Amino acid sequence: MGITSLAAVLLALGTALVPAGAVARSPKLASVQCDPGKAILVSDNGQLPITVEVADDPAERAQGLMFRRALEPQHGMLFIYETPQPASFWMRNTLIPLDIIFMDATGKVRHIQPNARPLDETPIPGAAVGDPDPLRLFVLEIGGGEAERLGIYTGQVMAYPAIDPAQAAISCE
């Protein structure tokens, strides 16, 4: 049977041909099952859980991931602020490269700084130049290169219990 005949048979059965290596897209979700120990990044391709330590007070945020010598894949630190605000990070006393993912109050990824250099004290702004809404409520740090490896992108949304349900881009169950 030729490819044209095979395609016709599959389409008649209600099955679409998907190119090799393509990822099937799942329907958009209205809500996800949330856990305070995981930030769930959601896209049309599904859910990506990141195991997180939470830094939600000034002392924890100041310490961050300083002095760590390693960070497991799909693990990181979620910084949570009391109110949306301009955010800027640096890598003082941080020994490993990090991807820094800045999110607004809805959980939407607004800016990603890939592979921030260890020990660099240059400020890393949480908003791209020209961003009309530079306020951030959440910042997720993961290992350097992880955002690209995991397919994390600007515009993607995060589900997490601390996101106000009235503002959440995607709700927690």
What the block records as the tokens of 162 is 């601390």
Q: How many CB atoms lie within 10 A of CB 124?
A: 18
Mean pLDDT over residues 91-116, rounded? 98
DSSP state of 26: P
Question: Which residues does residue 50 pair with via DSSP β-bridges, in sequence order?
Answer: 39
Whether residue 131 contacts residue 155, with contact meaning beta carbons closer than 8 Å, is answered with no
Checking if the pLDDT of 156 tops 90, the result is yes
pTM over 0.85: no
The burial class, CB within 10 Å (0-12 / 13-18 / 19+), for 11 is exposed
Q: What is the pLDDT of residue 30?
A: 78
d(CA 101, CA 162): 17
Q: What is the pLDDT of residue 28?
A: 60
Domains and CATH numbers, the chain: 23-172 (2.60.120.1140)
Mean pLDDT over residues 13-41, rounded? 59
